[in-house]
Amino acid sequence: MSERELVALVCCDLGAIVRGRSLFASELAPALATGVGWVPANHALTPLGPVADGNPFGSTGDLRLLPDPDTRVRVEAGGGDGMTALELLLCDIVETDGSPWECCPRRFLRTALRELKDELGAGLLASFEHEFQLLDASPPALGFSLEAQRRGEPFATRAMVALTEAGVEPERIFPEYSSHQFEIPVAAAEGVASADRAVVLREVVREVARREGTRASFSPLLDPAQAGNGVHIHLSAIDEHGEPLFHDASRPGCLSETGERFAAGILAHARALNALTAPSPVSAVRLQPHRWSAGAVCLARRNREALLRIPPLVELGGGDPARQLRLEYRGADASANPYLALGALVRAGLDGVRSGLPAPEILERDPSELEGADAERFGVGALPRSLEEAMGALEEDETARLWMGPLLHDAYASVKRAEIEAARGVEVEELCARYGAIY
Ligand code: GLU
Ligand code: MG
């Protein structure tokens, strides 16, 4: 790259906004060692713009954004006049002596992964499957249709090429059910790299869309009358030899005892997890029953209304079921910081294993057919109905509340409080428009 190109050193903040500072490429080598300046209160910026009132940082303190050289991403210049290359590196947020800052989201995830390693001897494989919509006023083509796919050109091909070059390993792109909606599943990666991929995917897709003169919105819900944009997080664990830990062909759903307990932990903490995985004022509207998002807090195999799903194991073409077995958490969206969401899921799963929770019953029916005690047993409509309720659930869950240290917790709560206040009394359509413009 030319010395007079800019490189962005960035982090993903508590509201899942990517922020940072750019420098000339010629200055990158020293910055890899020293980082660039950063301010604690940047982590109290809300996605609405202003700094959150009552945040724990105030105007004091200095930090560094320390680039992780393994995360370097480049999208070549092109696509319209004057579009320069996008070059970025993801950063850890550290103190000025290089020690980790207690509110750094990558550190939050690393701590959870270390616990998984220490207690289960396990590594985590994860992938984030994203949906998004191109903001396009023209009448949409039919969901999943070839017509919709072709109208998405050249954006779709360019996005897949750019994501591949960025190391995200996209597997497919296809038109989804809602207007101008697409989905991009990606290959699983180990540990922090999987969440890095989520951050990079969003920014690369936005960049490619920008170059096509449009905007890609990952907001959880653009139109209350339509399906929303989910981020489904696929999870599995491997032992130190790389052997899968969640598969056991002799058990229901082919889920091993460890896998069952991990799933049970996620379900047990589902309401608190919601505050970290779907944390915008429009998120709860997407998660209502009959939107094929997560209308029931239960485990299922073939049911897209369940919060946790075991996707199909495909033996066709010689596929290995043991390596395919994973848990799909359907309750996340792109207003969630991927490191916080994944770290919290790992903590919840680990708590299930640690407590030896019994295997969750696998739902085999459409949850909308359930009534009374059955509906309650399978958690139909049991997720919080608002961000306020989700934050309350986090406070009430004594285990989950301690996942974040006090400073991170207070900063996060201040940001979410500001969003809750700003949303009070606002119609859902207007909230959808507001958040559609942010994410
Ligand atoms: N759009 C749905 C959601 O909000 C997901 C549909 C699907 O991919 O199964 O999560
Ligand atoms: Mg989908």
Question: Which letter does DSSP use for residue 316 in this model?
Answer: G
330 lines ligand 1 (CB under 6 A): yes
Task: Give 402's contacts (C-beta < 8 A, 6+ positions apart).
Answer: none
Helix, strand, or coil (residue 201): helix
User: Do residues 49 and 13 touch, judged by C-beta distance below 8 A?
Assistant: no
pLDDT tens track for 211-249: 999 999 999 999 999 999 999 999 999 999 999 999 999
Residues flanking ion ligand 2, Cβ below 5 Å: 183
Closest listed ligand to the CA of 184: 2
Tokens encoding 32: 């890899």
Helix, strand, or coil (residue 283): helix
pLDDT for residue 295 is more than 90: no
More confident residue, 78 or 162: 162
pLDDT of residue 6: 96
Question: Which letter does DSSP use for residue 289 in this model?
Answer: T
Model pTM score = 0.97
Residue 311 Cα to ligand 2 midpoint, Å, equals 13
Cα dihedral value 395, 398, 401, 402, nearest 10: 160
pLDDT of residue 79: 62
Helix, strand, or coil (residue 10): strand
301 lines ligand 1 (CB under 6 A): no
* E runs forming strands in 59-164: 63-67, 73-75, 86-94, 123-134
Which helix H or strand E contains 322, and what residues bound it? Answer: helix 321-324
Pairing of strands 18-24, 36-38: unpaired
Mutational test site, ligand 1, from 177, 221, 274, 308, max ligand atoms within 8 Å of CB: 177
What band does 161 get if pLDDT is binned at 50, 70 and 90? very high
- What atom in ligand 1 is closest to the CA of residue 294? 10
Tokens encoding 291: 């939107």
Residue 127 Cα to ligand 2 midpoint, Å, equals 14
SS in 3 state form for 293-314? CCCEEEEECCCCCEEEECCCCC
pLDDT tens track for 67-102: 999 999 999 987 666 789 999 999 999 999 999 999
User: Of the candidates 213, 129, 230, which has an alpha carbon nearest to the alpha carbon of residue 178?
Assistant: 230
Question: Which letter does DSSP use for residue 359 in this model?
Answer: P
Compute the average pLDDT of residues 310-333: 93
pLDDT for residue 171 is more than 90: yes
Helix, strand, or coil (residue 5): coil
What DSSP string describes 39-86? -GGGGGB-TTSSBPTT-S-TT---EEEEE-GGG-EEE-S-SSTT-PPE
- What atom in ligand 1 is closest to the CA of residue 227? 1
Tokens encoding 178: 């809602």
pLDDT tens track for 121-142: 999 999 999 999 999 989 999 9
pLDDT tens track for 341-400: 999 999 999 999 999 999 999 998 888 888 899 999 999 999 999 999 999 999 999 999
pLDDT of residue 135: 96
- What separation in angstroms does the CA of 369 have from each of 291, 298, 427? 15, 15, 30
d(CA 191, CA 155): 30
d(CA 56, CA 327): 36
Percent of the chain at pLDDT > 90 equals: 90
What band does 411 get if pLDDT is binned at 50, 70 and 90? very high
pLDDT tens track for 146-160: 999 999 999 999 999
d(CA 46, CA 416): 8
Residue 325 Cα to ligand 1 midpoint, Å, equals 20
Angle between helices 338-354 and 105-120 (to 10 degrees): 20
User: Do residues 116 and 190 touch, judged by C-beta distance below 8 A?
Assistant: no
pLDDT for residue 177 is more than 90: yes
Compute the average pLDDT of residues 16-42: 97
Residue 334 Cα to ligand 2 midpoint, Å, equals 14
pLDDT tens track for 185-218: 999 999 999 999 999 999 999 999 999 999 999 9
| CB count in 10 Å sphere of residue 368 | 14
